[in-house]
Amino acid sequence: MPRRARPTMHRNDAVWSQGCLIEKFFRQRLDHFHWQRDVAEQPWFQQRYFVCEKYWSNGPGGVRGPIFFYAGNEANVELYVNATGLIWENAQAFGAMIIFVEHRYYGKTQPFGPDSWKVDPSYLTVEQALADYATLLWHLKADSPAGGAADSPVIAFGGSYGGMLSAWMRVKYPHVIAGAVAASAPVAAFPGVPGWRPQRFWEIVTYDATAAAGSAPECVTNVRLAFGYLRQLSRFAAGRATLSALLRLCTPLADEGEGLAAAYWLQGAFDAFAMGNYPYPSSYISDDPDHPLPAWPMRAACTHMVVGRATKPSNLIEALRDAAAVLYNVTGDVQCYDLQTSGPAAGNQGPWDYQWCTELMGQELPYYPSTGITDMFWDQGPFNMSVIEAHCREAWGVTPRPDWSAISYGGLDYRYASNIVFSNGGYDPWSAFGVLNNVSDSVVAISIPEGAHHLDLMYSTPADPPSVVAARQQEMALVRTWIEQHRAARRASKDGNGGGGGSVLRSSGGSSSMSLNTA
């Protein structure tokens, strides 16, 4: 079954040349939730993290600055060190220490050696990862020289799954995390969550291909027609031979199932264009620093789907191939396409698939069905949990618990949480499962109409739309408020005038999100 490959690392020399970034390792428990009779029997592993203290300075009254903590997600943590400009660009103004922590089973944080997921993936859970982060931060603050970090409030940042982790850190460990910036966090991407409708994902992908989002007016209609022709051709041998030639496949399609795989392969490209629909060239999605996707990649792809190419079905399928080539031939030298080494199928196994099969459930291809009516793809039928269960049993010997994350962390119910900002982009299909409205005065939703997947966490550029500029300003204003609250609460606690919890943020509140379309 096709599945999206998760990005690996590329390095931004501007970050690494600052001379402050130190790679460290923390001795971490393998299992936080079972006790051994003897400490010597406790299994441990080395968890990698990066720390920068260059900007860490005293604030008002000589109190040390905050800690900006990135909750690493499903890749080598260096990817996030490289990409998270919101932290780097604000650290000096806040006098902040910077910490990026790597998620267990990814990058160099391998409990059982290389490819630990092949040895024993059972310790790869959200609960264990959150406990890792809380434990590391707890000891880092306690063990800092002269207790310098003891009073430093920790602000969690994260995007996508990392955004889910940052929000859940605030929910689960509010005594460790003073506030959380959760960008493009699909915390409601679980069957059974009220309002969950997986088809919405592809409707947002389709929106990116409309004139309203800056794409060619003919794009949606012609993409839909092309997929219809493709599905027809894949049903018989002569049609598959034609289709294999039109798509320039290295290996001809052998049966209708492979024809379906080709359709998913093409659909996966549009998924990537929507997630990575950034206003500047970026390698965050292509994972090739030397060959980034163009600015506004959905618009670039849609230039291939203009009316002039729609004279007959073969022209439309060739146009669809050329549109997908914006991703799959980003180097410009691909002679033929191998469905097994490019696109969603390339990420078919690995630790992310295990996490998806146990707790997370948030995988778009091929399990979020399109309709071919409310989107530009084809009718994939209803959401089918039995297909997912069959894959997970075969691949991992597990059966998913699709409601477990919602039970554990509340789904969309953040009424009892505080100091979290959820940001979502109008171009990002994962916003279908995000917190889109203010939950309370202190759990705030920010809408970024021209934003793709956690664009607000990226480095600022002159090409940034006004809405993302405003979103970053709003986020950091909230962060400053949380820091001030934390310091006030600590002072009150030390003076004997109150508890250590402090008051929650009081902002404009209301039932609607803060839409930051200032264009």
Residue 382: give its domain's CATH number: 1.20.120.980
Backbone phi, then psi, for 137, in 5-degree steps? -65, -40
Query: Looking at residue 309, what is its pLDDT?
Result: 58
315 with 345, same domain: the answer is yes
13 is catalytic: no
223 with 144, same domain: the answer is no
Residue 518 lies in a domain: no
**Token pair recorded at residue 282:** 């970026």
353 with 261, same domain: the answer is yes
Q: Are 369 and 352 in contact (CB under 8 A)?
A: no
Q: Which of 342, 368, 396 is the last residue of a domain?
A: 396
Catalytic residue among 116, 152, 160, 166: 160
Q: Which of 365, 396, 427 is the last residue of a domain?
A: 396
Query: Looking at residue 445, what is its pLDDT?
Result: 98
Residue 175 lies in a domain: yes
Residue 433 lies in a domain: yes
User: What averages of pLDDT result for each successive group of 10 residues across the chain (519 residues)?
Assistant: 38 59 96 84 93 87 90 95 96 96 97 94 97 97 78 96 98 97 96 89 99 97 97 97 98 96 97 98 89 97 83 92 97 93 61 92 85 98 92 94 88 94 98 96 97 98 98 98 92 66 38 42
Query: Looking at residue 70, what is its pLDDT?
Result: 99
Residue 43: give its domain's CATH number: 3.40.50.1820
How many domains would you assign to the chain?
2
276 with 308, same domain: the answer is yes
Angle at CA of residue 405, ends 404 and 408, nearest 5°: 85
- Round to whole Å and give the CA distance between 32 and 352: 21
- Quick one: angle between helices 256-275 and 199-208, nearest 10? 60
180 with 207, same domain: the answer is no
What would the pLDDT profile of 205-233 be if each residue is shown by its tens digit? Answer: 999 999 999 999 999 999 999 999 999 99
Residue 506 lies in a domain: no
178 with 241, same domain: the answer is no
Query: Looking at residue 147, what is its pLDDT?
Result: 61
Residue 508 lies in a domain: no
- Round to whole Å and give the CA distance between 181 and 164: 10
Residue 163 lies in a domain: yes
Q: Give exposure, 43-59, as e/b (b: 16+ Cβ within 10 Å).
A: eebebbbbbbbebbeeb
- Quick one: angle between helices 256-275 and 237-247, nearest 10? 30
160 is catalytic: yes
* Domain assignment of residue 242, given as a range: 198-396
Catalytic residue among 10, 304, 453, 486: 453
Residue 519 lies in a domain: no
User: What is the pTM (predicted TM-score) of this model?
Assistant: 0.91
240 with 351, same domain: the answer is yes
515 is catalytic: no
Residue 406 lies in a domain: no
Residue 110 one-letter amino acid: Q
272 with 309, same domain: the answer is yes
76 with 21, same domain: the answer is yes
Residue 466 one-letter amino acid: P
70 with 113, same domain: the answer is yes
Query: Looking at residue 514, what is its pLDDT?
Result: 42
383 with 430, same domain: the answer is no
347 with 288, same domain: the answer is yes
Catalytic residue among 208, 375, 428, 464: 428
